[in-house]
Amino acid sequence: YSQNFHRILDQRKTLPVWQHKEEILDALRKNQVLVLVGETGSGKTTQIPQFVLEMMTMTVAETTPGDDKRRKKMMVGCTQPRRVAAMSVSQRVAEEMDVTLGEEVGYTIRFEDKSGPKTVLNYLTDGMLLREATADPLLRSYSAIILDEAHERTVATDILFGLLKRVLRSRPDLKLVVMSATLEAEKFQGYFGGKAPLIKVPGRLHDVEVLYTEESQRDYVESAIQTVVQVHMCEGPGDVLLFLTGEEEIEDACRNIAKEIGNLGGQVGPATIIPLYSTLPPALQQKVFEPAPGRTRKIVVSTNIAETSLTIDGIVYVVDPGFVKRKVYDPRVGAESLQVTPISKASAEQRKGRAGRTAPGKCYRLYTEKSFDKDLQSQTDPEIVRSNLGTTFLTMKKLGIDDLVHFDYMDPPAPKTLERALEMLYYLGAMDDEGNLTKLGRIMSEFPLDPQTAKALIVSPEFNCSNEILSICAMLSVPNCFVRPPKGEARRKAAADEARARFAHIEGDHLTLLNIYHAFKLNNEDPSWCHENFINYKAMKSADNVRQQLARIMSRCSLRMCSTEFGSRDYYVNIRKAILAGCFMQVAHLERSTGRYLTVRDNQAVHLHPSTCLDHNPQWVVYNECVVTSRSFIRTTTDIRGEWLVDIAPHFYEMENFPECEAKRVLKTLYKNRR
């Protein structure tokens, strides 16, 4: 072992979970399920899987010496709700074990598998473990499963709970550890009939002083920036962690903090400002763990990911504006969107805890104490009660869970939500009248895409454009491919807008994405071409990679690769029709008098997102998603024709419970004319 190994080992041994190692392993030897609660940073994610691996290796060596076949089944799997956590933690653990990432220790996230035949410890997203279960229902490649961050209560983790409860009965040899950062753990224990022991690992928390604002803040981002600058000016040594809600907000805030500190000139020392969010390239993500150059103060501006998923050492000051971006689903209208919403009390307490890991700290809450007491919910609702369950239901069906309504949910979704998801799969043709998966439904579940996008791809050969829809699907599955220069840089911003206009297809954003993909390939995937055209090279490479993976699944499902002749009048028409064939439930109709759009499905008022390339207001648009900020926007929109709706999705558009509205009247006329 290298010197580094021993240095890290000494560090590891100081983590609180090490004091409970024997207690934990002993409990796991005697029981099939163990619930472990530990303060964030106590070493759960990095250490427990290694302990379990060590124990499983010893057990196997004792019972079946020299049996290599048996040895292969020893894998320990540790789930993470967040991709970044799976990547970052596996890298750390590989270093701790002195091995190369991708060999003994690996990770698996959607569209990226960094595990191999040698892998004995794999960190994977909860969604990926669910997918693995569709091919291997008893999870035979694992000897132990660790459900980490169970308090996050993602849909995938919740389904895994139900699934594992069943698997544990058929596999007495399988061990399960449920790990969580909050005391809600009694609920997990109860779910397994109270038989699972509960072990609590106390953290080594120092006191954290909480400071509230006197009044509620009008602009939380501005207020956060001022607070961070104040802390940097007036407070003693220690790093700062600011929680914001998303990539754009974080990048803007980082720039503004740097500018403000710069303006102070020599009055304050320099600071190192580090953004942290899930779409950040892994090499940059790793930066938050490194000490700041020249022992300057580190200011980390992060999404919720730093709340419990990743532990950053050295934080003394936490700035908490009290907001988080999360999925919100309204089953009455059937729309799922990402919204900035107030955090829960439990979240606020977690955030505060981040300040007291290494020394006494301070937590600045940018809301009033009264607001904390009165306005914040005590816990966040589990995701399952605020999600569109379409994709999840496809997976569950494929797992052989026939009765989706009476599944053993820890918290069952609202009846309306269940109904909506079943209805969607039925209209997409994925489920029949009896609620069984159809052949189409089975093919849909092969693709790591939402059901609508999967359907567009599967039917695209019928529209003679599978090559193009494949590229569009790949582009839709990566984050924004446009590079946006910051607000201040007017000249570069103009150049970026100009570049963007060159790719714009006036009939829609889906077609614009296709143009960009084609241009990228025509220019031999050249990074400098991307740079000149304000295109995100990394995003494009990852889209290209996703495209290859989807193409392999298509070939496995015998779906034909084809294109309409470029330049023919039908080239774009066919593409637009194929998109509609999957996304016919996401259509909006222009209300001439107001200029806004109304969704056809539920008559909700929405607006074209400012990023759209459409240069006009089409009468009908198909959209990829709904984002709600100050108002509801539909993003990635393409011009379609009402007549196509009548042809492509008559069963949906004839449905009776569709609201009475102008769009419906227009459609009725179109139907009549057709007859």
Between the alpha carbon of residue 253 and those of residues 110, 137, 224, 274, 313, the distances in Å are 29, 46, 9, 11, 22
- Using CB under 6 A as the binding rule, whether residue 289 contacts ligand ADP is answered as yes
- Using CB under 6 A as the binding rule, whether residue 35 contacts ligand ADP is answered as no
| Max intra-chain CA distance, the chain | 81
Part in contact with Mg ion (CB under 5 A); list of ranges 43-51, 158-166, 197-205, 262-270: 43-51
Q: Give me the half-sphere count of Cα atoms (radius 13 Å) on the Cβ side of residue 193.
A: 9
**Integer Cα distance of 421 and 165 in angstroms:** 24
Which of 27, 38, 156, 559 is close enough to bind ligand ADP by CB under 6 A?
A: 38
Residue 22: both structure tokens together: 């024997």
Tell me which of Mg ion, ligand ADP, none is bound by residue 92, counting a contact when its beta carbon lies within the kind-specific cut-off of 5 to 8 angstroms.
ligand ADP
Tell me which of Mg ion, ligand ADP, none is bound by residue 150, counting a contact when its beta carbon lies within the kind-specific cut-off of 5 to 8 angstroms.
none
Ranked by CB distance to Mg ion, the top (closest) residue is: 45
Tell me which of ligand ADP, Mg ion, none is bound by residue 89, counting a contact when its beta carbon lies within the kind-specific cut-off of 5 to 8 angstroms.
ligand ADP
The H-or-E segment that residue 652 falls in is helix 650-653
- Using CB under 5 A as the binding rule, whether residue 45 contacts Mg ion is answered as yes
**Integer Cα distance of 298 and 292 in angstroms:** 6
- Using CB under 6 A as the binding rule, whether residue 313 contacts ligand ADP is answered as yes
Part in contact with Mg ion (CB under 5 A); list of ranges 38-46, 278-286, 335-343, 350-358: 38-46
Residue 441: both structure tokens together: 């439904």
Part in contact with ligand ADP (CB under 6 A); list of ranges 36-44, 67-75, 129-137, 608-616: 36-44
Which of 45, 125, 453, 574 is close enough to bind ligand ADP by CB under 6 A?
A: 45
- Using CB under 5 A as the binding rule, whether residue 189 contacts Mg ion is answered as no
Between the alpha carbon of residue 124 and those of residues 81, 88, 109, 287, the distances in Å are 9, 11, 6, 22
Tell me which of ligand ADP, Mg ion, none is bound by residue 88, counting a contact when its beta carbon lies within the kind-specific cut-off of 5 to 8 angstroms.
ligand ADP
**Nearest-approach distance from CB 196 to Mg ion, in angstroms:** 19
**Integer Cα distance of 555 and 413 in angstroms:** 36
**Integer Cα distance of 366 and 124 in angstroms:** 35
**Integer Cα distance of 675 and 664 in angstroms:** 17
- Using CB under 6 A as the binding rule, whether residue 15 contacts ligand ADP is answered as yes
- Using CB under 6 A as the binding rule, whether residue 46 contacts ligand ADP is answered as yes
**Nearest-approach distance from CB 30 to Mg ion, in angstroms:** 25
- Using CB under 6 A as the binding rule, whether residue 52 contacts ligand ADP is answered as no
- Using CB under 6 A as the binding rule, whether residue 180 contacts ligand ADP is answered as no
- Which among 308, 299, 318 is positioned nearest to 356, based on CA atoms? 318
**Nearest-approach distance from CB 291 to ligand ADP, in angstroms:** 11
- Using CB under 6 A as the binding rule, whether residue 221 contacts ligand ADP is answered as no
Tell me which of ligand ADP, Mg ion, none is bound by residue 395, counting a contact when its beta carbon lies within the kind-specific cut-off of 5 to 8 angstroms.
none
Angle at 130 between CA 379 and CA 31, to 5 degrees: 75
Nearer to ligand ADP, 17 or 348 (CB): 17
**Integer Cα distance of 390 and 71 in angstroms:** 38
Nearer to ligand ADP, 45 or 392 (CB): 45
Part in contact with Mg ion (CB under 5 A); list of ranges 37-45, 138-146, 352-360, 414-422: 37-45
Which of 20, 92, 354, 505 is close enough to bind ligand ADP by CB under 6 A?
A: 92
- Using CB under 5 A as the binding rule, whether residue 88 contacts Mg ion is answered as no
Residue 173: both structure tokens together: 């040899």
Place of tokens 């055209």: 533
Part in contact with ligand ADP (CB under 6 A); list of ranges 88-96, 167-175, 391-399, 411-419: 88-96
Part in contact with ligand ADP (CB under 6 A); list of ranges 38-46, 153-161, 468-476, 572-580: 38-46
Nearer to ligand ADP, 87 or 133 (CB): 87
Count of residues that interact with Mg ion, criterion CB under 5 A: 2
**Integer Cα distance of 324 and 339 in angstroms:** 8
**Nearest-approach distance from CB 47 to ligand ADP, in angstroms:** 6
Part in contact with ligand ADP (CB under 6 A); list of ranges 25-33, 85-93, 135-143, 404-412: 85-93
**Integer Cα distance of 615 and 464 in angstroms:** 27
Q: Which residues of 458-494 are buried (b: 16+ CB within 10 A; e: fewer)?
A: bbbbebbbbbbbbbbbbbbbbeebbbbeeeeeeeeee
**Nearest-approach distance from CB 312 to ligand ADP, in angstroms:** 6
- Using CB under 5 A as the binding rule, whether residue 227 contacts Mg ion is answered as no
**Nearest-approach distance from CB 120 to ligand ADP, in angstroms:** 18
For the chain, helix, strand, coil in percent to 5 are 45, 20, 35
* Phi, psi (rounded to 5 degrees) for 593: -65, -30
Tell me which of Mg ion, ligand ADP, none is bound by residue 41, counting a contact when its beta carbon lies within the kind-specific cut-off of 5 to 8 angstroms.
ligand ADP
Between the alpha carbon of residue 632 and those of residues 441, 557, 584, 604, 616, the distances in Å are 31, 37, 19, 9, 19
Nearer to Mg ion, 78 or 578 (CB): 78
Nearer to ligand ADP, 289 or 658 (CB): 289
Beta strand pairing call for 632-640 and 620-628 = antiparallel
Tell me which of Mg ion, ligand ADP, none is bound by residue 38, counting a contact when its beta carbon lies within the kind-specific cut-off of 5 to 8 angstroms.
ligand ADP
Torsion of CA 290, 293, 299, 302, to 10 degrees: -40
Nearer to ligand ADP, 42 or 302 (CB): 42
| Distance from the Cα of residue 36 to its chain's centroid | 24
Per the CB < 8 A criterion, the answer to whether 623 and 588 are in contact is yes
Nearer to ligand ADP, 306 or 587 (CB): 306
- Using CB under 6 A as the binding rule, whether residue 88 contacts ligand ADP is answered as yes
Which positions touch Mg ion (CB under 5 A)?
A: 44-45
Which positions touch ligand ADP (CB under 6 A)?
A: 15, 38, 40-47, 88-89, 91-92, 289, 311, 313
